[in-house]
Amino acid sequence: MRDELNGSEGRRAGGDVLGPDGKVIVPEDVASAIRTLIRWAGDDPTREGLLDTPRRVARAWKEYCAGYGDDPAKHLERVFEEVGGYDEIVLLKDIPFQSHCEHHMAPIIGKAHIAYLPRDHVVGISKLARVLHGFARRLQVQERLTAEVADCIWDNLKPQGVAVVIEASHACMTARGVRTPGVTMVTSRMMGVFRDDERSRKEVLALMGRGV
């Protein structure tokens, strides 16, 4: 494949072809589609301020959707069995994330709380955030995102329990349609002891700041 801008051979990285400037080369059909969208929205894609916009938008969307090239489960492969007898809840709280809804491709901006009760081992705490981002950087609905994060941790760490709570604002509702800013959607998934044992569920929700 050749660089559409200068004719030189591109370099491959992560499945994308890069130009000499290190930027992802945008296929002409993708750029053309974005120009069509700009024109349909009512502007002129040939005016100076919009000339490079199609390629900028395309590259931005490659970044927004980087999760399609990520296997979140791989972040949970390395575990630590030396936990010094620790057998209580592990919680990563207020993890900021961004995603895009699959219905309008509008931004979803929020935070997640991810907890698990270890059985025999633990994982590096940053890995929980990596699992979240791996699923969030795709076209999503919040309900599925919540389930995917919880299921991934449950299936790979085999803990006694998993709890995931996500709070997010959806631009498809705040910036269009009913246009109701300030509204937050909350979803949760409880597994294992956090689903079956009321006391454990109340404890983890209290740690998340969502106790009742």
Q: CATH number of the domain at 100, please.
A: 3.30.1130.10
Phi, psi (degrees; rounded to nearest 5) at 150 = -65, -45
Asked if the model's pLDDT at residue 16 lies above 90, the reply is no
Q: What is the largest CA-CA distance in the chain?
A: 65
118 and 44 within one domain: no
The string of pLDDT tens digits covering residues 25-35 is 999 999 999 99
Domain boundary among 69, 94, 117: 69
Under DSSP, is residue 137 helix (H, G, I), strand (E, B) or coil?
coil
Active site amino acids: 101-104, 142, 170, 172
Confidence band of 178 (pLDDT split at 50, 70, 90): confident
In the chain, the number of structural domains is 2
166: containing domain: 82-208
- Asked, for residue 102, whether it belongs to a domain, the answer is yes
Query: Has residue 43 been placed in a domain?
Result: yes
pLDDT, mean of residues 139-164: 98
Mean pLDDT of 171-187: 91
Of the listed ranges 60-69, 131-140, 178-187, the least confidently predicted one is: 178-187
pLDDT tens per residue across span 89-102: 999 999 999 999 99
pLDDT value at 8 more than 60:
no
Same domain, 160 and 199: yes
Any idea what the CATH number is for the domain that residue 61 is in?
A: 1.10.286.10
67: pLDDT strictly greater than 80? yes
85-112 CB burial, b ≥16 within 10 A, e <16? eeeebbbbeebebebbbeeeebbbebeb
> What does the pLDDT average to over 177-192?
94
User: Is the predicted pLDDT of residue 149 greater than 80, yes or no?
Assistant: yes
pLDDT for the residue numbered 17: 86
In a domain, 126, yes or no: yes
Q: Give, as one character, the DSSP assignment of residue 184.
A: -
CA distance 108 to 106: 7
Q: Which of 7-11, 83-87, 117-121, 167-171 has the lowest mean pLDDT?
A: 7-11
Please state, in angstroms and rounded to a whole number, the distance separating the CA atoms of residues 152 and 123.
13
Tell me the two tokens of residue 150.
Answer: 């919880």
129 and 151 belong to one structural domain? yes
Q: How high is the mean pLDDT of the chain? A: 91
pTM score: 0.88
- Who wins on pLDDT, 177 or 105? 105
Q: What was the pLDDT predicted at 192?
A: 98
* Residue 62 neighbours by CB distance under 10 Å: 16
Q: Domain boundary residue among 39, 69, 99?
A: 69
